Structure 1
Amino acid sequence: LELNAQVVRFPSGQETEFGGQAAYLMRIFGIDGATVSEKPLENTPDVARLSEDAVLKKKLADYVSANVGAVDLGVYEIPDEFLARKVISWSTFGSARQANHPFTPLFQPADFAGLDYSALQLVRTPEALVERLDNGACQGCHQAGSTAGFHFIGLDDRTTSPLNRIEVGISPHLHAEIPRRVAWLRATTEGKEPNRFRPLSFAPAGGWKDAGEVSYVPAEMAMPCLMPEDAARFGQTWQCGGGTVCTPLATASGVRTRLAQCLLPKDSRAMFSGHPCLTGSIASNPSQPFNDRYTITGQFAAFASDISRTAYTCRPPKIGVPAGIAYRGCDDKDRTFAAFRAGKPMPNEICGLVGGKKFDTCVATNNFDQCLGGAVNRGNRPACSADHFCREDYMCQSLPPDTPGAAKVKGIGFCSPTYFIFQMRIDNHATPWASAARATMGAGFGAAEEE
């Protein structure tokens, strides 16, 4: 039994700068009849024990040095004696949090400075080696390229409120991983040696050959990227596509690699709702990650002072939107999905659902059926689909089937902050699975004063 369970969530009203926090317990149990046993977490170090045992830590460093080629390919298996039986992964900004980089506090680049990196495919420096190890640990992989700390969420059935359904049930990592597995299986069935290289979990999909380097497709809008100074530590990486540029969103003390995403250039006229608008820094607390502190350091997009249907304003994290979101209210064309045309590229934004002030007020009554049915508004959000994913800390939500014009955008959803989806949170919010709540689609939707 492999367990990855959200065990606590701090709402955005409490974590106003982070836009909320959540902790996930990760454990593995062996089950043999009536006997249950703890199993080690694959490639995930027991940081506390290793930090206190210099001999054991040196032994782990020796293992890494002796197996650097396998680590480079991503096909290593660290022996059980070094591994943790229980860890906690943290979000939001999970890919940047020091707690999700377990090898970084254990080893300095100097510990691996004497290795030969010249023939390796991905790892070209000691810093890249430690980052590769971090990303291969359970909490590293499940917070980089994931959706809400998971890679396979699944879809909701008809018993779930149509106002609260997931449109895309897999993570960006799994989407990119499937072609690699298909290529591996094809080569194996044909009796060929498969390409065994496994990319970083936040890498985009690639073209897979039987051997040699991977030809990555360009990363799409709001997908992860490596800043030039970080990419220089690695071998072949990837580029941003679609007219985007790699833009840093957050740094964290104690972490070398910055959280960056492929975003619009500064002052771009192609701004869209949901685009990040704030940068920040995280002061890491290694012993108590729940006391990590995020500080907004600047605003780089969406400078309108007020909400309107013509200009973009930057909505703050305190409403539950990590890194802020650019926002423009829906106009009449947005409500009818006029920009969505068959055979044309999917627009970056769609008139989806937002809670608004009425929803926040209604939630206090604890009557969620009423809140969902009568206090949800229309508002522009990033468009998403099975091929176009939401950025970190957001997930693709379905439009209710009775939304006017929904047939025109079948298969397309809108990006919501992860914890706006009731199924993804455990903080005593009722889950409206048994509810038949339906939105009154013409009542107040898109009213700027309610957004």
Structure 2
Amino acid sequence: MPTSTHTTTEPNPSSGPRKRSVNAVSKAAVSLSSDSGYYVVAGDNMPCPLNADLAQAAKWSCNATRNLTCQALVTNAATSSNLGQCVAAAQNVAAGLSCRSNVIEDSTAKTAANNPFGFNLRAFSDRVSKEELVYKLSEGKLSGYGYNCRPTKIGVPLGRVTRPCKPEEASLAVIRPGSVPEEICAIVGGKGFEQMAKGYFDSGIFAAGVGRGLLNTCSPSRFCREDYICQQMPDFVTSARFNVSAPALNNLRSRKIGFCTPTYFVYQLRLDGHPNPR
């Protein structure tokens, strides 16, 4: 996770201009050796430079061996510079990927173009004026084991690829020692989270209300998108309802394998004030 507290008002690759940690980009692009820094390719969903805003020596690229390309998933005419996102090819669609592109209607351009305070102060009134699918995926109710692009309005900006877990995936027994999977049958929001959002919280109700779904994994060497966090698989998955064995859970924890989840599912914190999709 980023350790720097220094912030700057750069455009957010997932939602337009917002305050963000400088280290969120630098950590995605730079790997430090004992004696010097050097650039490495960026992985799925990670930021990437789109144009000539950066000097050539400061640029980095998406991982071509994974068929990732830098694409502008967010367009905001009010920003002077933009970052893209490393996007997988259609044949490599997997859980956790961004799956929608947005055009942002920026309130700053209308109300405070020359007011430095207006840049973040009025960001809450930005809106998504246009949204399109990146991949040809279903958008409606989850069914079967086909991938689905979940809508932004449920709390996943730029959408998110997921699908129901197969029985063998739900037990986590398919995750073998020595291998780090790209996908995992994780914990997803349900009625328990909705109850918490109303202003009161009961851990028992929350645990009973959450569901399972296939999401992307994270580890010390595999990062989440900058507005997500890496969450450890919770203890309650070993209950009779979820039927995950203690050894399977301990295997994940000992290897520091988690799953990427929105910050507000854990902290009740939005990192960058994503614009209202409605």
Give me the TM-score of the superposition, normalised by structure 1.
Answer: 0.47
Q: Which residue of 2 aligns with 1:246?
A: 70
The question of whether the paired residues in 2 share the 8 Å contact of 1:207 and 1:217 is answered with no
Cα drift, residue 225 of structure 1 = 1.0
- CA deviation string 1:228-265 (max 9, x = no partner): x3477533422212412222211222223333122211
Q: 1:219 aligns with which of 29, 38, 42?
A: 42
Cα drift, residue 318 of structure 1 = 1.1
- CA deviation string 1:148-196 (max 9, x = no partner): xxxxxxxxxxxxxxxxxxxxxxxx74xx3xxxxxxxxxxxxxxxxxxxx
Cα drift, residue 43 of structure 1 = 9.7
Q: Which residue of 2 aligns with 1:203?
A: 29
Q: Which amino acid aligns with 1:394?
A: Y
Task: Tell me whether 1:300 sits opposite 2:145 in the alignment.
Answer: no
SS in 1 for 2:73: strand
| Over 6 Å off, 4+ runs | none
Cα drift, residue 324 of structure 1 = 0.5
- Once residues 42 and 263 of structure 2 are traced to their aligned partners in structure 1, the CA distance between those partners, rounded to angstroms, is 21
- Once residues 365 and 231 of structure 1 are traced to their aligned partners in structure 2, the CA distance between those partners, rounded to angstroms, is 43
Against the structure 1 CA distance between its residues 332 and 386, is the aligned structure 2 distance closer, same or farther, given a 3 Å change threshold? same
Task: Tell me whether 1:390 sits opposite 2:224 in the alignment.
Answer: yes
Cα drift, residue 290 of structure 1 = 2.1
Equivalences for residues 272-287 of structure 1 within 5 A: 272-286=94-108, 287=112
The question of whether the paired residues in 1 share the 8 Å contact of 2:69 and 2:86 is answered with yes
- Once residues 373 and 96 of structure 1 are traced to their aligned partners in structure 2, the CA distance between those partners, rounded to angstroms, is 30
Q: 1:418 aligns with which of 252, 258, 263?
A: 263
Q: Which has the larger radius of gyration?
A: 1
Q: Which amino acid aligns with 1:225?
A: C
The question of whether the paired residues in 2 share the 8 Å contact of 1:339 and 1:347 is answered with no
Cα drift, residue 371 of structure 1 = 2.6
- Once residues 356 and 373 of structure 1 are traced to their aligned partners in structure 2, the CA distance between those partners, rounded to angstroms, is 9
Against the structure 1 CA distance between its residues 94 and 279, is the aligned structure 2 distance closer, same or farther, given a 3 Å change threshold? closer
- Once residues 343 and 43 of structure 1 are traced to their aligned partners in structure 2, the CA distance between those partners, rounded to angstroms, is 37
Equivalences for residues 82-97 of structure 1 within 5 A: 93=12, 97=16
- CA deviation string 1:261-319 (max 9, x = no partner): 22211x21x32222101001222222322222223331112512441342111111111
Task: Tell me whether 1:318 sits opposite 2:142 in the alignment.
Answer: no
- Once residues 378 and 273 of structure 1 are traced to their aligned partners in structure 2, the CA distance between those partners, rounded to angstroms, is 13
Equivalences for residues 140-159 of structure 1 within 5 A: 142-146=20-24
Cα drift, residue 367 of structure 1 = 3.9
Aligned residue pairs: how many? 242
- Once residues 369 and 402 of structure 1 are traced to their aligned partners in structure 2, the CA distance between those partners, rounded to angstroms, is 11
Q: Which amino acid aligns with 1:324?
A: G
- Once residues 377 and 313 of structure 1 are traced to their aligned partners in structure 2, the CA distance between those partners, rounded to angstroms, is 16
Cα drift, residue 401 of structure 1 = 3.0
The question of whether the paired residues in 1 share the 8 Å contact of 2:102 and 2:158 is answered with yes
Against the structure 1 CA distance between its residues 332 and 370, is the aligned structure 2 distance closer, same or farther, given a 3 Å change threshold? same
SS in 2 for 1:381: strand
Identity %: 30
Q: 2:59 aligns with which of 206, 219, 237?
A: 237
Against the structure 1 CA distance between its residues 302 and 341, is the aligned structure 2 distance closer, same or farther, given a 3 Å change threshold? farther
Q: Which residue of 2 aligns with 1:11?
A: none
- Once residues 188 and 15 of structure 2 are traced to their aligned partners in structure 1, the CA distance between those partners, rounded to angstroms, is 27
- CA deviation string 1:18-63 (max 9, x = no partner): xxxxxxxx9xxxxxxxxxxxxxxx897xxxxxxxxxxxxxxxxxxx
- Once residues 301 and 145 of structure 1 are traced to their aligned partners in structure 2, the CA distance between those partners, rounded to angstroms, is 30
- Once residues 206 and 238 of structure 1 are traced to their aligned partners in structure 2, the CA distance between those partners, rounded to angstroms, is 14
Against the structure 1 CA distance between its residues 308 and 291, is the aligned structure 2 distance closer, same or farther, given a 3 Å change threshold? same
The question of whether the paired residues in 2 share the 8 Å contact of 1:90 and 1:289 is answered with no
What is the aligned-residue RMSD (CA, Å)?
3.3
The question of whether the paired residues in 1 share the 8 Å contact of 2:263 and 2:269 is answered with yes
Q: Which residue of 2 aligns with 1:407?
A: 250
Equivalences for residues 14-413 of structure 1 within 5 A: 93=12, 97-98=16-17, 100=18, 139=19, 142-146=20-24, 173=26, 176=27, 203-207=29-33, 214-227=37-50, 229-230=51-52, 234-241=56-63, 242-243=65-66, 244-265=68-89, 267-268=90-91, 270-286=92-108, 287=112, 288-301=122-135, 303-305=137-139, 306-344=141-179, 346-357=180-191, 359-360=193-194, 364=198, 366-403=200-237, 404=244, 405-410=248-253, 411-413=256-258
Cα drift, residue 351 of structure 1 = 0.8
Q: Which residue of 1 aligns with 2:276?
A: none
